[in-house]
Amino acid sequence: MKIIELPIEFEFNGQKNTIYPSLIILNNELTLVDTGYANFLTLIENEIIKSGYEMKNLKNIIITHYDDDHIGSLYDFKEKYPWISIIASEIESKYICGEKKSERLVQAEEMLENLPDEEQEFGAWFIQQLKSLKHVPIDRKVQDGDMILNNKCRVVATPGHTSGHISLYFPSLKSIITGDAAVKENHELAIANPHFCLNLEKAKQSLAKLKNLKAEHYYCYHGGKFTF
């Protein structure tokens, strides 16, 4: 088993950006963690193929949490590869499948009322982005401590950024896929976008929880791989 980063480069508001979805390879079966923004399917496919793997072996997609840069292309993946199993936490599943209005949308709508005039346009655009995300049913709902992927991976509840956020711990690899529970910033692990955390105190606790696992490799969606 191994984990590789999939660096996905793109432009946003005229600035160059990179996100780092993770690909888990286990017995020739592939598991993708998070799917980038809407219309990122081809970018991610190309990176997987460039890394020497075939899309026909994609078996699972794990979603760390409901945010447009993590679930944006989930619907497209399920449409193109209908056999894949989609895994998410019990809490985030409700938002992903459309059973419940997402926390991020509620937050964005509340924030819009207090945004300065020059930010109103972006705030309205962001709300529209969230509203345009297509709902997808979840095949497996997981909770803190669940063992998945042939018992090689432990689900770690890391609330704060969102309430149902999960990270993935691989004891045999001494590795963690952090989602947005940690970001690589200035050569250290930090909280991702504290300003947008739904519960900053819980986000701090979750970051401490991940650090306490004393992994050697932290695969951060923003910032890339951090190695102690």
CATH classification of the domain holding 158: 3.60.15.10
Tell whether 193 is covered by a domain. Answer: yes
Pull the structure tokens for residue 112. Answer: 């819009």
Structure tokens at 107: 């937050």
- Non-local (6+) Cβ contacts of 165 within 8 A are 64, 65, 89, 92, 157, 158, 159, 179, 180, 181, 206
pLDDT, tens digit (0-9, with 9 covering 90-100), for 181-194:
999 998 899 999 89
Split at pLDDT 50, 70, 90, the class of 42 is very high
Q: Is residue 220 part of a domain?
A: yes
Q: Report the domain count for the chain.
A: 1
**Helices in the chain by DSSP H: which ranges?**
41-50, 68-71, 74-80, 90-96, 103-112, 117-132, 200-212
Q: pLDDT at position 12, please?
A: 82
Report whether pLDDT(202) > 90.
yes
Check: CB of residue 161 under 8 Å from CB of residue 178. Answer: no
Does residue 21 form part of some domain?
yes
**119 within a domain of the structure (yes/no):** no
Structure pTM? 0.95
Task: Convert the pLDDT of each residue in 54-71 to its tens digit.
Answer: 999 999 999 999 999 999
What interhelical angle do 103-112 and 117-132 show, nearest 10? 160
**C-alpha closest to that of 2 among 41, 53, 49:** 53
Distance of CA 167 to the CA centre of its chain: 9
**Residue 86 within any structural domain of the chain:** yes
Domain-embedded: residue 195: yes
Q: Which residue range(s) make up the domain with 189? A: 2-101+135-227
> Does any domain span residue 20?
yes
Assess if residue 82 is contained within a domain. yes
